[in-house]
Structure 1
């Protein structure tokens, strides 16, 4: 009998044929019903070369979530977006065109950013298409579209009118390279080598001095007080005394405060504006008058006198020299210091008082903790990232940015009295270039206005993604059916930003949490275990890998590389090695395609054994799929297919399936079991490797797509798994004996079938040609 499958091997080029069928039939079209499964898919960011291989692996598994849900009978809404706001595209555009944003006309710079994004987005969409993502790629949304930005602005206007947004001058994290405020959530920490300088401060009107240890001596000009722990008896006599600040000659008072650590440095601490967040808290609590020592250009201001114009690191080195030459240094230690770094520019941030817009978040922390506890996290351990972040929040969220490519803050100020005015929500506003839509100032009646030129933090846009895809304030009926969304899949590094801000904003606007479940994936690492990034140069471009090995090979590697939630290493050789399993599946399917479909059969004990093991496989896969842990079904299916079904059962019943020495009933039982097992394997594997399973399914079993089929359910059958080890050991024993006697596998051999396998004897004799 000739096999139905004529190709001798699985060719990844066949994926294009399958993909075209899906596109032509619009197989994944979504029509809302009363029960929908909505995925709040992360809109990826095209900056530089779009995506590294770890990100592609991440999105392929998000697609596995969608395909699993469909095969479980859910009406899946899988929107796809592209995130096109923020700093990375501005940096990319500056580098590409050798220009500086603030030296370029704003409209011209925005056009250049948009062009760059269009090119990068095209490649990103191509990668998603080639990966077989079953989302709505035809109608993918963009966060820089007028419609999306109008929604962001509308939500701001709503919260402004509710008093949840304030304009205030407060100390802010400042990234002087990008020239903008950044939120705490955009800060990473690195242990950097630095100098801890032990400086001598003279106590006024005495011949005594105290030692102050600091890593920021360049901020001596901003020192406003010295604090010591109230329990520190060494300084009790000096509390309330004045000390003279070295270099500057300023006089400040020694005060007590519990935050001074007796065992760090000398136990006495200078409080400056602003060395760190502890200084910020102390200035606020002790009502100290701030001194702005570092300007918006990242350089020392005129208050630093002869050090003015130097960058803080340069000023630090120069001041240390001067301290030493003037006898103000007791000692200098080299220490590792935990330093706040901007995640964007990778440079240490400074804390500078700036007027910004803030979204009130401190009063919502306990509500966020409650909502977070109600969301099911996969894996559960990553819920702690959110809880830890909630514990660390101490200030409101600064939402304004001094950049160009982002959603503009929709505010105009009265030119006479500076009163801020917001327009009616619903359209997209650009205040920096548009006339104010309000006729007169509500406060003084003047008719002249000045538009705000700042933009929002990019997370203000991203955090309304579940509202946008649900058509919030656009289609009430649609929104009611798909919101709250079902699941938020994302990487663990943006739990404290995207996940938290979305939870905060959506609760403020709707009174509901935005999703029921959260699926958190680990990082893609290079083969040495280092996190991959384009800036480090260790990122692998996924497109050539997918084109070379095929999407299914890539997807199966992604699922089988590591347990869900953990970091995974990306290696092209490992990806290539997973192709062997697809080849095995293809060879098994091609062999079985030579047998007709037998819809019913009376299974023998041997057949019942493999069907029992197949049933256990279904149970294992269901457990993995229910937890969106694709590692579980991937490993289980590979192990069963390769090492049990192909290696043992098929070899055992091959002659029976051909009817050689067996009755028609026995033959049909074998064929029935072979096809039932293979068709079940294809269904179980379909969410992970959609192309090869579709091709084999439609070639062998149905004209309909496998992705519209319901997933297999476990059956109530007798468990024969206790026999498995004995079957495997016996077959291995026979194969090893033949090998030791230099016999071929077809040669006969005298081996006795054990009593426990008596009901397997006929098939085993046929398989091994036993005498």
Structure 2
């Protein structure tokens, strides 16, 4: 035992804040988290990069705790563990924050040049970026901080641009006008995956359109009456006999009085609504397809900010939702509004700004996904890449089989600028190049105009979708497009821990990029975490005000307590119903461990030297049982890790430490007389076992385990639990017979405690025990265990025995345990108590049977209610039988 533990009293209270700071600083100073390629097998994890301007929230806490558990265990197992941290530039979110800051300073983005705006954006990033990574250190995250990567780093940015150029040259990136999701707040295009569909209470407006040259009208229902301004056709099903007479005619769009053709297309569902459809090609995906098939005019009636454009003719400059209110009034006054009904429908919202998106025809850059995605689909379906839990494979397959081309251009300034350069007004008058100098040469060649100058070129104003950079993350964090040594060593990575809601944003696309640029998977396993929810089942968020500050939780309960609280309630892929009491439980567990260790140190002899050992006393049942339990748990924990059941693994370690070691082993190992010191040999074994327990605990609760491990024995300056050897399972140290015997004795002790409680006997009252068992010799040899935990004056064991009169009993496996009570209680009073209880139970059963014998109740009551009564009857009859047997014993 090292001197600090022997001669300096361990503090009475566990103080997590001091200990956590001390050990994290030590780990960092000794560079234990840093990894460089060597001859060991690597274990690589890349962090899902949080937004550069983000702060720690509960989802981050859960995700990064799980990653840290996996990495710490791998490090102890001897792998070259490398956990790469970093942040994402988050184009939309970061630009919005910078614009808001500028607005507060009285500056409009439109008043700045692009370069001026970028200066402000970088200033914001340098000031606020990376805060979340510092916060993760408070959690204990054992990242290789020397490898911290930012998606706007120079080399990383180069890989993003080179990837764009490569895919363009392969014909897998193209530019085209297509329907996109438009965010009027951020004024940018969004991919399908950046749109959240919410069920909302809307209105369905029934509007009539006059058939040209007649007094006839057709009625059309819409939830977006403002888009009437962009209508260029009315569509009916060619098989709808109600409208056969309208074939070839025109309709008049109300208010704008635009004549539009009545077109025929079997896309229209004759059974839905009136069977007539208004067609607005510029503002609806399906309408756009109809417009393409029927060569319809396209009227873009909405500006980028959601106001009505000049093409809309009416309400120019008004906001779309203000127009919705006004146009309804105007339609009503014009006699075109038939009715308005309440209607529930799903509406798309921007994932970033939470505003209603607008479908919009727009010229954008796209990645052709169908061919690219095939290897990514095949290798998840055949389990080369394994999802945990596997249920997410079906969701993944559905998306991948129906994958759409990816819109990768964003109308922003913060981000990776698209490397396209325009030299003319023609649709194809552009080149894609890494630099303006290279672009000029290509433009001269493509145009055949050698007199073009740099002044004739204009670079595309848009930036790339943030996910277009982060899909390269497992490759680019190792500079894998330019240097081979590190990426060849660390890639593919091992485990990715992420949330299922970014399965398509990020996971699928990383897999696609991995097969496209490395010819192999980017990771072997994907562990999907659940969503952290409050006790009401709501997702925790700042806007709802239901999310605690993670740093406040750490300050109150310690990082270990919070880590345990998070892990205890989160099976893979299932949501976490978070309750702060879980963190409190984690804190109490720390105190339990601390007090147990402190108890051992207080019972050391200052004149002795202690050496932790796992060499046990082979004749001691308790030692053999505890050693067996440690080995059993090692094996079970390993199985849980293999199957990503981390919460199950932690619960097993928790039970091993709290129940087996603290409540049983230490209690049985301590001296018989108060004030006596521990036997040196017993103390050495207890310390050795404590050392193993701290190793098992370390990935989950690194700080307290390191603190105690360092106390247990003299360590060199370079020794640390975080790099010590992970416990290995030893089948030869699992003694099944001893486990079974000790568990029987445990049940006997528990039964004796229950009997004392039921009979009102003091824990200190001496009792007599009689045991009917065929295992008398071994029970006699280990009678001391019962004697140490119970006040027992005598024990009698035999294979043949009658149950003593006036005794309490318990059945433990095949053994029968009796406690004679005649000298301990008032027998007559006990008989009277039992008889009263019998009378009460008989009355209870009479009421239950009355219900069950009533055919009207049985036939008409809900099945669950009837079954509940049957359960009451079963339990009551069993209780009655037990009470009568007890009464008979006292006669």
- Give the TM-score, by structure 2 length: 0.79
- 1:458 and 1:609 map into 2 onto residues whose CA distance is 56
CA deviation string 1:670-727 (max 9, x = no partner): 5565345423321221111111111211221462322223322333223355456644
Match of 1:303 among 292, 301, 311: 311
Return the offset for 1:81.
Answer: 0.7
State the partner residue of 1:421.
431
SS of 2:38's equivalent?
coil
Given that residues 600 and 672 in structure 1 are in contact (C-alpha distance below 8 angstroms), is that contact kept between their aligned partners in structure 2? no
SS of 1:235's equivalent?
helix
Return the offset for 1:189.
Answer: 0.7
CA deviation string 1:324-378 (max 9, x = no partner): 2222232211111201111111111112222221111133343332133231012
Match of 2:12 among 4, 8, 11: 8
Given that residues 54 and 570 in structure 1 are in contact (C-alpha distance below 8 angstroms), is that contact kept between their aligned partners in structure 2? no
State the partner residue of 1:697.
709
- 2:282 and 2:443 map into 1 onto residues whose CA distance is 41
Residue 33, structure 1, aligned to residue 38, structure 2:
yes
The 1:760–1:206 alpha-carbon spacing in structure 2 relative to 1, beyond 3 Å, is farther
The 5 Å alignment of 1:51-70 reads: 51-70=56-75
Match of 2:728 among 713, 716, 719: 713
The 5 Å alignment of 1:643-658 reads: 643-655=659-671
Return the offset for 1:733.
Answer: 3.1
Match of 1:389 among 399, 407, 412: 399
Q: Which of 678-687 and 601-610 deviates more?
A: 601-610
State the partner residue of 1:376.
386
Return the offset for 1:758.
Answer: 4.5
- 2:247 and 2:674 map into 1 onto residues whose CA distance is 98
State the partner residue of 2:93.
88
State the partner residue of 2:884.
none
State the partner residue of 2:408.
399
- 1:636 and 1:362 map into 2 onto residues whose CA distance is 45
- 1:712 and 1:295 map into 2 onto residues whose CA distance is 65
Given that residues 564 and 629 in structure 1 are in contact (C-alpha distance below 8 angstroms), is that contact kept between their aligned partners in structure 2? yes
SS of 2:242's equivalent?
coil
- 1:458 and 1:631 map into 2 onto residues whose CA distance is 33
Residue 733, structure 1, aligned to residue 748, structure 2:
no
Given that residues 654 and 767 in structure 1 are in contact (C-alpha distance below 8 angstroms), is that contact kept between their aligned partners in structure 2? no
SS of 2:495's equivalent?
strand
CA deviation string 1:496-545 (max 9, x = no partner): 10112222233333332322211211222234332223344443322232
Given that residues 129 and 137 in structure 1 are in contact (C-alpha distance below 8 angstroms), is that contact kept between their aligned partners in structure 2? no
The 5 Å alignment of 1:213-292 reads: 213-292=221-300
Return the offset for 1:583.
Answer: 1.0
- 1:105 and 1:571 map into 2 onto residues whose CA distance is 49
Q: Which of 549-558 and 566-575 deviates more?
A: 566-575
CA deviation string 1:188-217 (max 9, x = no partner): 111122211122233344444332111122
State the partner residue of 1:614.
630
Return the offset for 1:559.
Answer: 1.2
SS of 2:326's equivalent?
helix
Return the offset for 1:465.
Answer: 0.8
Q: Which of 748-757 and 269-278 deviates more?
A: 748-757
Return the offset for 1:404.
Answer: 1.3
State the partner residue of 1:46.
52
The structure that has the greater radius of gyration is 2
The 1:599–1:223 alpha-carbon spacing in structure 2 relative to 1, beyond 3 Å, is closer
State the partner residue of 2:686.
674
- 1:404 and 1:59 map into 2 onto residues whose CA distance is 31
The 1:678–1:233 alpha-carbon spacing in structure 2 relative to 1, beyond 3 Å, is farther
SS of 1:610's equivalent?
helix
State the partner residue of 1:441.
444
- 1:14 and 1:746 map into 2 onto residues whose CA distance is 40
- 1:297 and 1:217 map into 2 onto residues whose CA distance is 18
Match of 1:367 among 371, 375, 378: 375
CA deviation string 1:213-247 (max 9, x = no partner): 11122222322333334554433444444333333
The 1:735–1:452 alpha-carbon spacing in structure 2 relative to 1, beyond 3 Å, is same
CA deviation string 1:219-276 (max 9, x = no partner): 2232233333455443344444433333333333434434323333222222212443
Match of 1:605 among 603, 607, 621: 621
Q: Which of 463-472 and 562-571 deviates more?
A: 562-571
The 5 Å alignment of 1:472-491 reads: 472-491=480-499
The 1:409–1:675 alpha-carbon spacing in structure 2 relative to 1, beyond 3 Å, is same
- 1:275 and 1:450 map into 2 onto residues whose CA distance is 29
Match of 1:468 among 452, 476, 488: 476
State the partner residue of 2:784.
762
SS of 2:56's equivalent?
coil
Given that residues 85 and 407 in structure 1 are in contact (C-alpha distance below 8 angstroms), is that contact kept between their aligned partners in structure 2? no
Match of 1:628 among 623, 638, 644: 644
Q: Which of 384-393 and 471-480 deviates more?
A: 384-393
The 5 Å alignment of 1:343-358 reads: 343-358=351-366
Q: Which of 185-194 and 472-481 deviates more?
A: 472-481
Return the offset for 1:36.
Answer: 1.8
- 1:692 and 1:116 map into 2 onto residues whose CA distance is 37
Return the offset for 1:599.
Answer: 4.6
The 5 Å alignment of 1:497-646 reads: 497-593=505-601, 594=603, 596=610, 597-603=612-618, 604-646=620-662
SS of 2:145's equivalent?
strand
- 1:292 and 1:228 map into 2 onto residues whose CA distance is 23
Match of 1:142 among 133, 140, 150: 150
- 1:262 and 1:759 map into 2 onto residues whose CA distance is 87
Given that residues 85 and 143 in structure 2 are in contact (C-alpha distance below 8 angstroms), is that contact kept between their aligned partners in structure 1? yes
Given that residues 229 and 314 in structure 2 are in contact (C-alpha distance below 8 angstroms), is that contact kept between their aligned partners in structure 1? no
Residue 322, structure 1, aligned to residue 339, structure 2:
no
SS of 2:727's equivalent?
coil
Question: Alignment RMSD, CA only?
Answer: 3.0
Given that residues 222 and 293 in structure 1 are in contact (C-alpha distance below 8 angstroms), is that contact kept between their aligned partners in structure 2? yes
The 1:178–1:278 alpha-carbon spacing in structure 2 relative to 1, beyond 3 Å, is same
State the partner residue of 2:76.
71
Q: Which of 687-696 and 323-332 deviates more?
A: 323-332
Given that residues 615 and 714 in structure 1 are in contact (C-alpha distance below 8 angstroms), is that contact kept between their aligned partners in structure 2? yes
The 1:244–1:453 alpha-carbon spacing in structure 2 relative to 1, beyond 3 Å, is closer
Unaligned runs of 5+ in 2: 605-609, 794-891
Return the offset for 1:610.
Answer: 3.0
Given that residues 68 and 625 in structure 1 are in contact (C-alpha distance below 8 angstroms), is that contact kept between their aligned partners in structure 2? no
SS of 1:37's equivalent?
strand
Match of 1:409 among 411, 418, 424: 418
- 1:435 and 1:155 map into 2 onto residues whose CA distance is 16
Unaligned runs of 5+ in 1: none
Return the offset for 1:658.
Answer: 9.9
Q: Which of 219-228 and 553-562 deviates more?
A: 219-228
- 2:728 and 2:613 map into 1 onto residues whose CA distance is 21
Given that residues 606 and 759 in structure 1 are in contact (C-alpha distance below 8 angstroms), is that contact kept between their aligned partners in structure 2? no
Return the offset for 1:435.
Answer: 10
- 2:438 and 2:90 map into 1 onto residues whose CA distance is 24
- Give the TM-score, by structure 1 length: 0.91
Given that residues 307 and 317 in structure 2 are in contact (C-alpha distance below 8 angstroms), is that contact kept between their aligned partners in structure 1? yes
SS of 1:550's equivalent?
helix
SS of 1:292's equivalent?
coil
